[in-house]
Amino acid sequence: MKDNRRNFLKLTGLAGVGLAGGIVKGFAKETHNDAVSNDNNKFDSPGFNMSGYAAPKLETVRTGFIGLGQRGPTHLKNMTKLAGVSIVGLCDIREDYALKAQKSIQDSGQKPTLYFGNKDAWKKLCDRKDVDLIFIATPWNMHVPMALYAMEQGKHVAIEVPAAVTVDECWQLVKTSEKTRKHCMMLENCCYDFFELMTLNMARQGFFGDIVHTEGAYIHYLLDLNFKKDGYYDMWRLKENIGKDGNRYPTHGLGPVCQVMNINRGDKMDYLVSMSSMDNMMGETAKELAAKDDFYKPYVNKQYRGNMNTTVIRTNRGKTIMLQHDVTTPNVYSRIHKISGTKGSALKYPLPGRIATSHDKWLTDEELKSMEEKYRPAIVKKVGELAKQVGGHGGMDFLMDWRLIDCLRNGLPLDQDVYDAASWSVIAPLSDWSVGHKSTSIDIPDFTSGLWKQNKPVDISLEQGGTTSVRV
């Protein structure tokens, strides 16, 4: 592919000339199908619009859980705190994890059926007629097959991040959700963190003016956990870092700023460029561990992704987004969450979050406190303190799960729909392609098939719903 691009530029004689940029972009689009399986012609006709779709009300949301390792137990615990929820089934390939999850909720009065052992046991849970919503918290490559099957069986699905790992998988989620009219929500909890919710509310009320640029990231030291034998089942997350590059985990930083910028609801991401550093950490760690333990020998001399990836996205309306990803170097945790507008700006990291109305200085602590009171969103006013008591990443996990259940019980559209799940997740394979092609730009599919022009922004008013009570 690299030789083809080089020869193409030689033959046209456009290398180094301004005109080459546009032609190279077109050439990238031609070769893109082979690289990331993005055959848009198969999918680009609009189907039923799931943005703003309100499914029929569910007085009781009957839930099932697939995957009870890292994230599944958090959602399971949250469901025991919510009125109008029935926990029907728990599934994990490991019997001990299923039993542990069952034991963790034994005081709640819920009596779910267990499914384990067989690699297809999860299908039996999806086949049940008395399940409305399936939570999927399994290794990334299992998300889409499970979600597609569950929707085909008439279930709404809530998938851990990222929702999909290939462009084609993203399209499959979109078209299946449209066909079945079942919600497909990616569980992007960072959209429900308190500062992110406040800045979203501020943006809705015009505080920042016109948004010009935003930034997000996932900078989180996970090197030890990725190499830990019992950290992730069958070392799946370490394997996700082999033979791939780009931003492997884009949605934590991207989701909140996309909501601020009304992506898929008035604007759309147009194209991206991506660049990665070399790997200075994972390959060396594998060698060091293999010298002491033969278990790690299969992970030596592999092509690991670069430690730091930077991806830049331009939207249809000319706005820009910068994303970063690094889970292996000893950086202090950051999701950045920067918003830059014509009237003001915000920056969450390093903590505490800050707000500015001019280039001179950030607001004082007293001024910021006043802003927090003025722009505190309705969901935080209603269940914010309860969420902090329940916990889960400071309460944002609970806010997300409460909101999901409340929308289903009241027949309201979800804050995150299948188009968000697809467009936020697709950055991983597209950035991988761009890195592999010397940071050539690549178009981002329009999963709404043009409906972004008419879709309404996420409703955060709570003027409807808000009826689901909490047991702490």
Residue 304 DSSP class = B
Retrieve residue 146's tokens.
């499970």
Contact 307, 326 (CB under 8 A): yes
Cα(337)–Cα(72) distance, rounded to whole angstroms? 26
> Please, which residues bridge with residue 217 across strands?
324
**Structure letter (DSSP) for residue 263:** B
CB-based contact 278:307 (threshold 8 Å): yes
Strands 269-276 and 211-219 come out as: unpaired
Cis omega (within 30 of 0) on the bond before 352?
Answer: yes
User: Model's pTM, two decimal places?
Assistant: 0.92
Partner residues linked to 133 by β-bridges: 63, 156
- How far apart CA 78 and CA 390 sit, in angstroms, is 8
- CA angle, residues 24, 25, 26, in degrees to nearest 5: 90
d(CA 164, CA 390): 29
Q: Which two tokens stand for residue 214?
A: 């935003």
Phi and psi for 357 in degrees, rounded to 5?
Answer: -115, 0
Report d(CA 277, CA 356) in Å as an integer: 32
The pLDDT assigned to 44 comes to: 64
Q: Considering Cα of 65, then 70, then 76, then 78, what sign does the dihedral take?
A: negative
Q: Which residues pair with 62 in a beta bridge?
A: 86
**121 torsion bin: left (phi>0), alpha (psi -120 to 50), beta (else):** alpha
Distances in Å between the alpha carbon of 218 and those of 221, 251, 255, 325, 386? 9, 8, 11, 5, 27
> Which residues, including other chains, have CB under 8 Å from residue 105's CB and lie 6 or more apart?
76, 77, 80, 87, 112
Set out the domains of the chain in order of their start, with CATH numbers. Answer: 2-36 (no CATH), 191-372+437-453 (3.30.360.10)
What is the C-alpha separation between 250 and 244, in angstroms, rounded? 14
The DSSP bridge pattern shows strands 338-341 and 320-326 to be unpaired
State the pLDDT at residue 472: 81
Averaged pLDDT, groups of 10, the chain, 472 residues long: 38 33 34 44 75 98 97 98 98 97 97 95 98 98 98 98 98 98 98 98 98 98 97 95 97 98 98 98 98 98 98 98 98 98 98 97 97 97 96 96 98 98 98 98 98 96 96 85
